[in-house]
């Protein structure tokens, strides 16, 4: 049963639907993937000739060493948030400063070889396997009581 925000002209205040019908109506409201929901016209259109003069250029990454020399930056050097800043923002984990002295930390090495990672985790007494996935929920959630 769905309660309406305001009654219809005929006085209807609730709509009664089967769970599957409700899911179909909700699914019809979801836009197709990769479909732009905002369309720009005129100068703001994607292929407008004057768009480059109106739209600001992307910010330059301040940590890039090429920016100091005035050389043009490659397209991949556009501003991105460093992984340490993302960890700090999302999980409140500070990987830029030492927890003991507060000094700046730098990356010395990154281990990407799966066998080396498994050996290190085994040496530390940790499991090298990912935790098992939980089984999918049963379809009886939509069943009416």
Q: What is the pLDDT of residues 109-135, one digit of tens each?
A: 888 899 999 999 999 998 888 888 888
Percentage of the chain modeled with pLDDT above 90: 19
How much is the average pLDDT of 44-49?
86
pLDDT at 65: 47
pLDDT at 60: 64
Verdict on whether the full-model pTM lies above 0.75: no
Identify the band that residue 11 occupies on the pLDDT scale cut at 50, 70 and 90: very high
Contact 60, 79 (CB under 8 A): yes
Identify the band that residue 53 occupies on the pLDDT scale cut at 50, 70 and 90: confident
Average pLDDT, the chain: 80
Q: How many CB atoms lie within 10 A of CB 15?
A: 13
| Dihedral pair phi/psi, residue 89, rounded to 5° | -70, -45
pLDDT at 92: 84
The gap between the terminal CA atoms of the chain, to the nearest Å, is 13
State how far the Cα of 29 lies from the Cα of 23, in Å rounded to an integer: 10
State how far the Cα of 112 lies from the Cα of 97, in Å rounded to an integer: 23
Closest CA to 58 of 37, 34, 76: 76
């Amino acid at each position: 049963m769905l309660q309406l925000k305001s009654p219809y002209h005929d006085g209807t205040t609730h709509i009664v639907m089967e769970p599957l019908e409700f899911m179909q109506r909700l699914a019809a409201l979801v836009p197709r993937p990769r479909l732009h929901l905002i369309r720009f016209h005129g100068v703001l259109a994607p292929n407008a000739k004057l768009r480059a003069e109106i739209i600001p250029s992307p910010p330059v990454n301040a940590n890039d060493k090429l920016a100091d020399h005035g050389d043009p930056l490659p397209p991949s050097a556009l501003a991105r948030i460093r992984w340490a800043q993302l960890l700090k923002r999302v999980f409140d984990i500070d990987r830029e400063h030492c927890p003991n002295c507060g000094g700046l930390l730098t990356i010395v090495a990154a281990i990407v070889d799966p066998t080396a990672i498994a050996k290190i985790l085994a040496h530390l007494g940790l499991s090298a396997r990912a935790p098992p996935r939980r089984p999918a929920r049963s379809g009886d959630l939509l069943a009416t009581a």
